[in-house]
Amino acid sequence: MAGNTRGKLKENYEGIHNNFNWVLKHINKSLDQIAAQLMKTQPDKYGLEDVEKAEAALMTYPLYAGTKALGEGVETLDDLANKIYASL
């Protein structure tokens, strides 16, 4: 355990980064579950062989698109936290 303010702050930001990793793990699991369900229930629309076309089709589904945007926002916040950590 750190004894000075700088060390404590670094520990806090390391914890923030670890929490963001946990959030991103669960967002990715959610994206996989949403995609699997859509590909199973609507294979003609979402079960495409071309990965780029499949991703584009999935992005038309609001829950998938919203979850993807949430993940991108969390990644941005994690990058910011990492920059602050690096500056300490």
60 band by pLDDT with thresholds 50, 70 and 90: very high
- Could you report the per-residue pLDDT of 13-50, keeping only the tens digit for each? 999 999 999 999 999 999 999 999 999 999 999 988 89
Rounded to the nearest 10 degrees, what angle do helices 51-58 and 5-41 cross at?
Answer: 100
CB 86 within 8 A of CB 21: no
- Those residues whose C-beta lies under 8 Å from the C-beta of residue 72, and which sit 6 or more positions away, are none
Which token pair is 21? 């990793």
pTM as predicted: 0.88
Question: Higher confidence at residue 80 or residue 1?
Answer: 80
pLDDT surpassing 70 at residue 72: yes
* CA distances from residue 69 to 62, 65, 88 in whole angstroms, order as listed: 10, 6, 29
